[in-house]
Structure 1
């Protein structure tokens, strides 16, 4: 019996003390395609992060998807689809420009037909107004096609939180992920706790990724408010994201662990919520 007890102690001592559930990264910019993917995944091995899968987009930095650039957008979407076909960890994220009207809707249908589950639009870098009816048309069509709409919510564009809330209310059959949970305007989203009390108003179709902002909030003077907000919007609605290459996934995971959430809450944010939303295996 003593030998078995000693063996158990040895095994416990050699097991990783930081062992945690695997991670899904919602927010990865692969600006150089397969080379960027290889570099990103190698970094996670070096940083000892158990990367299960990640949402990858081809645009960002010098590569933008502006109005009228239909050929470039289609080519970029094709590249990320091809990368995902060759790499089971990649959840491809496509884009369109809402102001391209019918052409944007046609591209949505095309990429959805090739298995793309996520559309990313970015009002700041793509230079469009969230309140424009063409944005609503794209969001509603994405929902009809079974696509989740990921959009920037870093507080860079004035009133983006209010406009995004109204967009989600007007497209109740579309699932949304709002990146960065409002940035330093994260307090706004506590309104969801009240929206749930108004019958027939909120369709529970809003999710958030906490890329970038979680690194800023960990150990911040307003950290408790941030955690309070996460719980008010619903831990089941929170996804992890790094915003690579701007920030590292290891630093993001470390920041999440310092928020003082329960192990069950962090496990949902690291993997479980994304697994449910995207049907990950």
Structure 2
């Protein structure tokens, strides 16, 4: 889609004509059969979620474009024995790329990378050579990256630097592992800003789920991380100049208190840095239309909703 068309639509949004509909869903997933089998421990799972499925959901919501995030990093989860792991990672990333390539005016692909793996930098370079790939997706909880660990932070910085060299945006699920009860709070947020973020000064870094997990916004450690990140943005820390935040599934089933906290963080960051996302139309998440309707229930103003609906990350322009 041309910048002219996007500019025209953004103008309509600013005039209020399309204020109820986001231009883009910045956090979607396709799921292949092998990934679903992995998630379901080898059992028969639901059918794959393809690019065509995502586009149908976008059409239903009146949304023009989406970022499709590969979950190939799941094959690299520590402690998970996967035969021919690298081949499976590449196959999953290639499947996601192929789904996006079927709808080049609607979808862009991000490769899933397990940053602790020896093949991570090679896979970033391989993905970067494909014109349909605009970025990488990292899941620090799934990969058991502990930001307070200097070795982990240094390795993550190498991955950020590789993405920056290849002009790839980064979507990072920061929330530390629940299953292993890893620490997650202000210390980890400061380590991210000080040790990792400077390695990618030229590309978009999109913090998924407002530093949490979704659905909802009820995790105090995630809120503590978001507070540190928001403070850095609000005081003009130069390391956060390309830092964006997506709200994928954060407004689902929130209490009034959680909604108020989410709105405080949105306003502290500034609505111009907030990207709409729905996560994926699975049993635990709402599809884009319903997810936007849930987000619209937050105590934001019409002008704030219009700004967020009109935001398009640079990698989608």
TM-score after normalising by structure 2: 0.70
The alpha-carbon deviation at position 74 of structure 1 amounts to 1.4
Q: Give unmatched runs, 5+ long, in structure 1.
A: 1-16
Matched with 2:273 is 237
The alpha-carbon deviation at position 82 of structure 1 amounts to 1.8
Alignment partner of 1:128 is 2:145: yes
Output one character per residue of 1:116-167: Cα deviation in whole Å (capped at 9) or x when no partner. Answer: 2121111222333344021110012112221121111346453166435533
Matched with 1:140 is 161
Cα RMSD of the aligned pairs, angstroms, is 2.9
| Segment drifting more, 110-119 vs 260-269 | 260-269
Equivalent pairs counted in the alignment come to 256
The alpha-carbon deviation at position 201 of structure 1 amounts to 5.4
CA distance in 2, matches of 1:81, 1:90: 9
Matched with 1:205 is 242
3-state DSSP of counterpart to 2:155: helix
| Segment drifting more, 261-270 vs 189-198 | 189-198
Matched with 1:119 is 136
CA distance in 2, matches of 1:160, 1:146: 29
CA distance in 2, matches of 1:18, 1:52: 12
CA distance in 2, matches of 1:43, 1:267: 21
Q: How does 1:93-242 map to 2 (within 5 A)?
A: 93-101=110-118, 103-115=119-131, 116-130=133-147, 131=149, 132=152, 133-154=154-175, 156=178, 157-159=182-184, 162-170=187-195, 171-172=197-198, 173=201, 174-183=203-212, 184=219, 185-192=222-229, 194-196=231-233, 202-217=239-254, 220-242=256-278
2:66 to 42, 50, 54: 54
3-state DSSP of counterpart to 2:263: helix
CA distance in 2, matches of 1:197, 1:87: 37
Alignment partner of 1:270 is 2:282: no
Larger radius of gyration: 1
Q: How does 1:3-22 map to 2 (within 5 A)?
A: 20-22=20-22
Contact between 2:230 and 2:265, CA under 8 Å: does it hold in 1? no
| Segment drifting more, 194-203 vs 89-98 | 194-203
Matched with 1:6 is none
Matched with 1:247 is 285
CA distance in 1, matches of 2:240, 2:111: 24
CA distance in 2, matches of 1:199, 1:210: 21
Matched with 2:5 is none
The alpha-carbon deviation at position 57 of structure 1 amounts to 2.4
Closer, same or farther: CA 194–80 of 1 in aligned 2, 3 Å: closer
The alpha-carbon deviation at position 207 of structure 1 amounts to 1.3
Matched with 1:26 is 26
- Higher relative helix content: 1
Closer, same or farther: CA 160–71 of 1 in aligned 2, 3 Å: farther
The alpha-carbon deviation at position 22 of structure 1 amounts to 3.8
Closer, same or farther: CA 70–230 of 1 in aligned 2, 3 Å: same
The alpha-carbon deviation at position 65 of structure 1 amounts to 3.0
Contact between 1:215 and 1:251, CA under 8 Å: does it hold in 2? no
3-state DSSP of counterpart to 1:78: helix
Contact between 1:25 and 1:242, CA under 8 Å: does it hold in 2? yes
